[in-house]
Amino acid sequence: MKYLFTLSLFFTFIVANAQVKLLTLNDLDKRLAKGKDTTYIINFWATWCGPCIEELPHFEKINKEAAKQPIKVILVSLDFKSKLKTAVIPFVVKNKINSEVYVINEPDQQLFIEKVDKNWSGAIPATLFVNTNKKVRQFYEKEFSYNELIETLEKLK
Amino acid sequence: MRSVLFACFIMLGIMAKAQNGYQVGDVAADFNLKNVDGKNVSLASYEKAKGYIVVFTCNTCPVAKIYQDRVEALNKTYAVKGYPVIAINTNDPLASPGDSFVKMQERAKEKNFSYAYLEDPNHVYTKKYGAMKTPHVFVLQKTAKGNEVAYIGAIDNDQEDTNASKITFVQNAINSLLKGEKPAVTSTKAVGCSIKWKKEATSK
């Protein structure tokens, strides 16, 4: 019985940790606007995108190491909405992702790609840096190494 | 010194051009690339064509794969009307082993492609056209100027293929061209896979 209890606690912990919600661009914009001096690193990825998965550990590392700084990593998955429970949450649990994870909830890809950045072709991985107080909004359609992430953050200071 | 600077400017110009690729209205270059059947294919190989559906794609990208049946359907519908599909694999086989020529042949056989599926060594035409991801479609129309780019972008606005009222961008563009009209929508964007570029010998 005690064993069962521990087990259920353990699962609650995992499930709580793997909270992945749907996110519209509007939700994201509101969140960023409230961020004040926080620098947000918003990484667009998908569970099916090889190069995205390769660079995820760098974002996780930044998120962990910058815990005491006003830096926040948000991972926005472009997986299909229907894959939230079958692909995204299992991926987040399996890989013990600690950063905030969302699945994009926009019916019109064309519109949301343009809104994120007008120069974005739609290819992923892609990453957006936003700091509302500093009026910073920089978009990169590329893969990042850990050092490149650090360098980009330094330049935004 | 001056000539070096000059050469640098020319190089910059060439690089900028290669990166930007084609815009709607530009005349697209012909190519001569190896098809999965071993024979070379160029735009000029299709003598009766009124235009072309050039699809930059690959073997490995899940988005490209989910569209394979729709690309096949496009060829079935429009090749007879003068707009054949020509697919070009954008990816370097060393950077992406699943995109080797042999793997391309396997996929074409397995899916029974009715259209040409060409390799693009060193990304020459991927860069020239300005394909940034897979899948990335360029609809060309034969005009007095040459093979003019009439549409650039996505196949439709419903990757998962679940929405009956989706907008079929490529079909709409070609239907307009067949009626002698300009397409209402000439460029669209969609999520796709980044191109697996050849690793430069100089890097690291």
| Residues A122, B194: C-beta atoms closer than 8 Å | no
Give the model's pLDDT for residue B163. 81
To which residue do tokens 């709409």 refer? B172
**pLDDT per residue as tens digits for the range A119-156:** 999 999 999 999 999 999 999 999 999 999 999 999 98
Q: Which residue from B203, B191, B41, B24 is spatially nearest to B125, judged by alpha carbons?
A: B41
| Residues A122, B157: C-beta atoms closer than 8 Å | no
Please tell me if residue A82 touches chain B, with a CB cutoff of 8 Å: yes
Where in chain A are the domains? 17-156
**pLDDT per residue as tens digits for the range A7-47:** 555 555 455 456 899 999 999 999 999 988 999 999 999 99
- How many whole angstroms separate alpha carbon A156 and alpha carbon A151? 9
Q: Please state the φ and ψ torsions of residue B147, each to the nearest 5 degrees.
A: -85, 95
Give the model's pLDDT for residue B137. 98
Give the model's pLDDT for residue B18. 43
Task: State whether residue B62 is helix, strand or coil.
Answer: helix
Residue of B nearest to A44 (CA): B191
| Residues A122, B160: C-beta atoms closer than 8 Å | no
**Chain B residues with CB inside 8 Å of A125's CB?**
194
| Residue B202 or A64, more confident | A64
From the candidate CATH numbers 3.30.420.340, 2.40.50.220, 3.40.30.10, 3.40.50.300, the one assigned to the domain spanning A17-156:
3.40.30.10
Give the model's pLDDT for residue B7. 55
In terms of C-beta density within 10 A (0-12 exposed, 13-18 middle, 19 or more buried), how is residue A6 classed? exposed
List, in order of start, the domains of chain B with CATH numbers: 22-194 (3.40.30.10)
Give the model's pLDDT for residue A139. 97
Residue of A nearest to B63 (CA): A48
Q: Please, what sign has the CA dihedral across residues A95, A100, A103, A108?
A: negative
Give the model's pLDDT for residue A18. 62
**pLDDT per residue as tens digits for the range B86-103:** 999 999 999 999 999 999
- How many whole angstroms separate alpha carbon B56 and alpha carbon A115? 25
Mean pLDDT of chain B: 91
Average pLDDT over residues B164-193: 95
Given pLDDT bands bounded at 50, 70 and 90, which one contains residue B6?
low
- Candidates B92, B159, B194, B199: best to mutate against A (most CBs of A within 10 A) is B194
